[in-house]
Amino acid sequence: MAISKSMARYAHIIRHGFALLEQEKAYTQADILRKLESLGKGISAASLSNILANKKMGREVLRKAGEGLLEIVRQELGFEFNEARMAFDPERVAEGWTPYIVPEKEGQDSPAREEPAIFHPDGRWPIGQKAAFLSSAQDEIIELGVRLNTFSNYFTSRNEQEFKMPVFRLLERNVNFKAYLLDPECNEASLYFNDRGRVQPEELHSIEKIRSSLSNLSRIKAEIETQQFPGKFEVYLYKHIPYNHFLIVDGERSHGKLAVSPYLYGVTRANCPVIELSKQYNRGLFRRYYQSFQHFTRDARRWEG
């Protein structure tokens, strides 16, 4: 039986797409198989080898692998598929394309499973651990806190190689950074700090510390803007009672991850435990926290300094 036109198209996408990725990215068949698995388009190693050898394969295998290779080439190389030539066209870059590396699923032969979240009982991470957590970002980093006093001081009072330059390198790679803190002018700020001040008197001075953080952030934003990085650095103010600290890396992507620290009453925020979640392995819990973050920041306003 002759192969249908649509199946022939998928076969061309797979063979030409693999050749391009092998040439441009030095990917092996094993690399491509892990990426296909990550996209939910997994096939067997034997099936991929047979397709590349121009052997006949079933419709479903061709469809899955073809759709997967099409997405990998578009995401990583930006090339559109030329239907007339039945090949990817390096001269036709997808509109609005920005490079994105499709993650490789680890343990391809193992069944998908939920893995325990990582619990950090000692509270706020050391600066090096935080910088390492951010280093894998490809699209966006989000930090949401109350005062962001420590965050802003990382840029101004620490060796710049510890945090400032790693963030600058991410911005240079077209990663966007969004920082959220409590609006010092809102009623919720007064309620929150007055309540916490009953057992932590130092909290009563927090509105002034927020204003100090905003002053620091204004200088940081100005410096970043002079660099003209492809990535944006934006600051937002929210008007809600704070519940958690959030640190989110590529939350919209399949490889997204986050660290959340629930605020405990009567305990300094730096000493509140941190829960680390992977979207791939903690999908349900990740979604729950990420939805909470989205609701919490829906009416936040961008601060221009």
CATH number at residue 186: 3.30.870.10
Shared domain for 212 and 163, answered yes or no, is yes
Closest by Cα among 180, 138, 153, 151 to 296: 180
DSSP string, 216-278: HHHHHHHHHHHHT-SS-EEEEEE-S---EEEEEESTTSTT-EEEEEEPPTTS-GGGS-EEEEE
Residue that is written with structure tokens 């034997």 in the block: 46
Examine residue 250 and state whether it is found in any structural domain, yes or no. yes
Shared domain for 24 and 137, answered yes or no, is no
Examine residue 274 and state whether it is found in any structural domain, yes or no. yes
Specify the pLDDT at position 2: 47
Contact 82, 89 (CB under 8 A): yes
Shared domain for 58 and 124, answered yes or no, is no
Domain containing residue 143: 118-303
Domain boundary, last residue among 27, 58, 93: 93
Question: For residue 113, is pLDDT > 60?
Answer: no
Question: Which region among 42-46, 90-94, 260-264 has the lowest average model confidence (pLDDT)?
Answer: 90-94
CA–chain centroid gap for 64, Å, is 25
* pLDDT tens figures, 214-237: 999 999 999 999 999 999 999 999
Q: Which two tokens stand for residue 191?
A: 């309620």
Other CB atoms within 10 Å distance of the CB of residue 102: 23
Shared domain for 46 and 123, answered yes or no, is no
Q: How many domains would you assign to the chain?
A: 2
Specify the pLDDT at position 1: 40
Shared domain for 153 and 27, answered yes or no, is no
Residues near 195 by Cβ (< 8 Å), separated by ≥ 6? none
Shared domain for 268 and 217, answered yes or no, is yes
Examine residue 130 and state whether it is found in any structural domain, yes or no. yes
Shared domain for 88 and 45, answered yes or no, is yes
Residue 253 has φ and ψ, to the nearest 5°, of -100, 160
Shared domain for 166 and 220, answered yes or no, is yes
Shared domain for 225 and 269, answered yes or no, is yes
The percent of residues in the chain predicted with pLDDT above 70, rounded, is: 95
Examine residue 86 and state whether it is found in any structural domain, yes or no. yes
Question: For residue 76, is pLDDT > 70?
Answer: yes
Q: In whole angstroms, what is the distance from residue 64 CA to residue 59 CA? A: 9
Shared domain for 129 and 57, answered yes or no, is no
Specify the pLDDT at position 123: 94
For residue 115, what pLDDT band results from cuts at 50, 70 and 90? Answer: low
Residue 178 has φ and ψ, to the nearest 5°, of -120, 125
* pLDDT tens figures, 173-197: 999 999 999 999 999 999 999 999 9
Shared domain for 206 and 74, answered yes or no, is no
Examine residue 74 and state whether it is found in any structural domain, yes or no. yes
CA 281 → CA 2, 65, 88, 115, 238, distances in Å?
A: 42, 23, 33, 5, 30
Q: Which two tokens stand for residue 168?
A: 């600058």
Shared domain for 72 and 201, answered yes or no, is no
